[in-house]
Structure 1
Amino acid sequence: MRVFQIEGEWGTQNLRLSERPEPEAGPGQVIMQMRMASLNARDLIVPERGYGRATGELPLIPVSDGVGEVVAIGDGVTRVAVGDRVCPAYFQNWTGGDPSPERFASALGGPLDGVMAERVCLSQEGVVRVPDYLTDAEAATLPCAALTAWSAVATHGQTRAGDRLLIQGTGGVALFALAFAKLHGAHVTVISSSDDKLARVREMGADETISYSETEDWARASRAITADRGGYDNIIELGGAQTLPLSLRAVRPGGTLSMIGVLSGLTVEASLGLIVARQVRLQGITVGHRDGFEAMLAAMAQHEVRPVIGETFAFDELHSALDHLRAGGHFGKTVIGF
């Protein structure tokens, strides 16, 4: 079968179209015929061994997110049946409960082989059925980006009606966070450097928008929006080094910074006094577990929440899809058809 794999040495230039034997289902395992995959920022990092030893070993099939049809099952499989449409869970060994080193070591697309293969063999515990109303492209976007947003808004953020949330940017996680925050009845502010993208998120339900290309100090600019409570209840922190100091000024006393992205850098200088004196919770978000995935899917189906799809590429256009993601400027998820 055809696969894309990083082989020989690390580096995107060594991500090649190759062949592997067809997988066979052992006890408790399922075979997925892949239909669609979608890209995340981590798919630019993995080929460069950006997570160090935690990235895995070569050869490695990249990409964590996708959807497929169950075409074969091994002995003892009861969670799914042949013909079911399923997504893989991002963490194959994290079905519920607290995280652990062992559970975090089971991520698809690094360190475990990912979904850029025509057929994928996984444990039945590592797949979930997806609602019928979603297209293949929409379903393919869910395992990483959507669940990350759900964990930040619902699981850890425990968003309630009337809460004030601020979301940084208009990437995949940000757009899912907007949809889930509105589903919970929250008031949402979105910041971006693009007026066109801000117009689009207003159409999607954003209550307030701030252009940080025009207003660099968006923390100050947002004070009037949260004057009744002294800051945001939850900030979906996707920027990292350059945005965290502003987020600390914009969050309310007792509020939460949901730390997800590090797009502007890994090292930050910030006032720890703002965290301590205002009792701010800095909550790291690393996707989530399978139970959370299934809870998210139930909520999405109830309200027919639809992911935003951007550009679509063919299987053998993986490099072009990665270049498109790397260039930025996209709106919605980049997907790959098989």
Structure 2
Amino acid sequence: MQCYQVKKTGGLDNLIIVDSKVLEPLAGQVLVRWRASSLNYHDYMVAVGGIPCEDGRVPMSDGAGEVVAVGKGVTTWKTGDRVMSLFFPNWLNGKPTVTNSAMVSGDTTDGYAREYSCIGAHALTPMPVDYSFTQAATLPCAALTAWRALMVEGNLQAGDSVLIQGTGGKSIFALQIAKAAGAYVYATSSSDEKLEQLKTLGADEVVNYRSDEKWGRTLWKQSGGIDHVLDVGAETTLKHSVEAVAMGGNISLIGVLGGVTAKLVMPTLFFKHVKLSGLAVGSRYMQEKMVSAINVNNIKPVIDKTFAFTELKQAFEYQTTGAHFGKIVVNYDH
């Protein structure tokens, strides 16, 4: 089989394809034929060395495929089952701990930029009904992060207001989940064309953050305060998120697209009684609940562009342009 490895991390030129042997599953494992993966900023940082990892690491935290062999003692899966990976293979339920979140797919353990791999039977969930592999590959990181921020940590209720920032995968999924739950959604982008696309997907009000340098205050005035804010930019967005959030509202810190640090005006947080939560993806139980909700609401991912397995480097290069709207997928069957 073919398999990507990150060698001497430091740039996309060190992302190489190697030939590797297909192994037989051990007891408690299944052999999965991976059919697709999707790009996340975390994957890009691993690929270019921004997140140091073991030399030869197989990248990509998202995977969708089918079970082709079952190891001894496995009763939860059978040959032909269509499955998705977990970002945290050992976080099954309950709260995150140092132990259950130590293993990260495509980072501290091998990911899914490969045609086959043996994986613990516990580290998979079913795909949504009627989803293609291409569609399912968008879910384990971006969609689950949005689901956890809104539905698990935020306890989103019908009639609540939500702010999404930009048009990456997490933000688009948050828009779709919020609308399915009956929320009123505000959205930002630097592109008027993308703002129109956001409206088409259901965004109720939009703001161009490039033409409005005080967009956080603008949203506060328009909304009277937004209940749930999903902050993806850290340094470039958090100040605005604090200005836009409602009294007693929630800010979920789910990205660092604008920088890994941010300054905070603490009295504003105090006197707005803001709940500020940092979170990374979620557990298997959360992913299973998300899949159930997707099945009921018939949510379909927004896919901007697909690339062949051999075009992973080109896919990352496209990601860095910021031109995409929704998810970028690598389809192994191309």
TM-score class, shorter-chain normalisation, is over 0.9
For residues 13-52 of structure 1, the aligned pairs below 5 Å read 13-52=13-52
Q: d(CA) in 2 for partners of 1:46 and 1:24?
A: 28
Q: d(CA) in 2 for partners of 1:42 and 1:94?
A: 18
Q: Which amino acid letter does the alignment assign opposite residue 181 of structure 1?
A: A
Is residue 80–residue 129 contact of structure 1 (8 Å, CA) maintained in 2? Answer: no
Q: Which amino acid letter does the alignment assign opposite residue 324 of structure 1?
A: Y
Matched residues, number? 332
1:322 is the counterpart of 2:319: no
1:100-119 deviations in whole A, cap 9, x for unaligned?
Answer: 12222211110110101110
Q: d(CA) in 2 for partners of 1:9 and 1:162?
A: 46
Q: Say which of 309, 331, 334 aligns to 2:303.
A: 309
Aligned to 2:2: 2
Q: d(CA) in 1 for partners of 2:51 and 2:128?
A: 33
Is residue 220–residue 226 contact of structure 2 (8 Å, CA) maintained in 1? Answer: no
Q: d(CA) in 2 for partners of 1:20 and 1:7?
A: 15
Q: d(CA) in 1 for partners of 2:11 and 2:75?
A: 40
1:177 is the counterpart of 2:174: yes
Q: Say which of 87, 91, 99 aligns to 1:90.
A: 87
Q: d(CA) in 2 for partners of 1:144 and 1:8?
A: 25
For residues 150-169 of structure 1, the aligned pairs below 5 Å read 150-169=147-166
Q: d(CA) in 2 for partners of 1:277 and 1:8?
A: 48
Aligned to 2:58: 61
1:232-254 deviations in whole A, cap 9, x for unaligned?
Answer: 11101011112111111111121
Q: Which amino acid letter does the alignment assign opposite residue 39 of structure 2?
A: L
Aligned to 2:122: 125
Deviation at 1:9, TM superposition (A): 4.8
Q: Pick which of 114-123 and 127-136 moved more.
A: 127-136
Deviation at 1:131, TM superposition (A): 2.2
Is residue 176–residue 307 contact of structure 1 (8 Å, CA) maintained in 2? Answer: yes
Q: Which amino acid letter does the alignment assign opposite residue 13 of structure 2?
A: Q
TM-score w.r.t. structure 2 length? 0.97
Q: Secondary structure at the match of 1:311?
A: strand
Aligned to 1:138: 135
Aligned to 1:277: 271
Q: Which amino acid letter does the alignment assign opposite residue 216 of structure 2?
A: A
1:178-206 deviations in whole A, cap 9, x for unaligned?
Answer: 00011111100001101111101101110
Q: Which amino acid letter does the alignment assign opposite residue 14 of structure 1?
A: N
1:110-143 deviations in whole A, cap 9, x for unaligned?
Answer: 0110101110111010011112311221111011
Is residue 178–residue 185 contact of structure 2 (8 Å, CA) maintained in 1? Answer: yes
Is residue 61–residue 141 contact of structure 2 (8 Å, CA) maintained in 1? Answer: yes
Q: Secondary structure at the match of 1:329?
A: coil
TM-score w.r.t. structure 1 length? 0.96
| Gaps in structure 1 of 5+ consecutive residues | none
1:159-181 deviations in whole A, cap 9, x for unaligned?
Answer: 10111111111100000000001
Q: d(CA) in 2 for partners of 1:67 and 1:242?
A: 33
Is residue 11–residue 47 contact of structure 2 (8 Å, CA) maintained in 1? Answer: yes
